[in-house]
Amino acid sequence: MSYVIGSDCIDVLDRSCIDVCPVDCIYVGERKSYINEAECIDCGACEVECPVSAIVVDRVARKDELLSTFLRDSAAFFAEPLPGRSEPLGNPGGAGPLGDLGVDTPLVAGYAGQ
């Protein structure tokens, strides 16, 4: 089990989820944050803290068409090279040392809402 950040986070970037994450697995793009499922310990602290209810558990996301798109997109954020980068981000072991990445997946970069 892991968590995913959906479209309600786009252009919000409140960061309260980051403040409560005990393992630093929430990475900040340009318009949205992403949870690294390989680093997440499934504590749920981020879900409770999110002021826009953008964070949901993956088993719920899989049952919703839009959220399942963001679940796949979140995996792509870490597994595929992001625009302007030659290598995938992978599992660096924490977002803090990297700081804001300033780049999103093509889905989020071009997202206009629904």
Could you read off the pLDDT of 10-35 as tens digits, one per residue? 999 899 999 999 999 999 999 999 99
Does 114 score more than 90 pLDDT? no
What residue has token string 């970037």?
13
Residue 74 lies in a domain: yes
> How confident is the model over 64-80, as a mean pLDDT?
95
Q: Please tell me the total count of domains within the chain.
A: 1
CATH number of the domain at 16, please: 3.30.70.20
Does 95 score more than 80 pLDDT? yes
pLDDT of the residue at 13: 87
User: Across all residues in the chain, what is the average pLDDT?
Assistant: 94
How far is it, in rounded angstroms, from Cα 64 to Cα 49? 21
Q: Is the pTM of this model over 0.85?
A: yes
Residue 108 lies in a domain: no
- CA 7 from chain centre, in angstroms, equals 10
Residue 113 lies in a domain: no
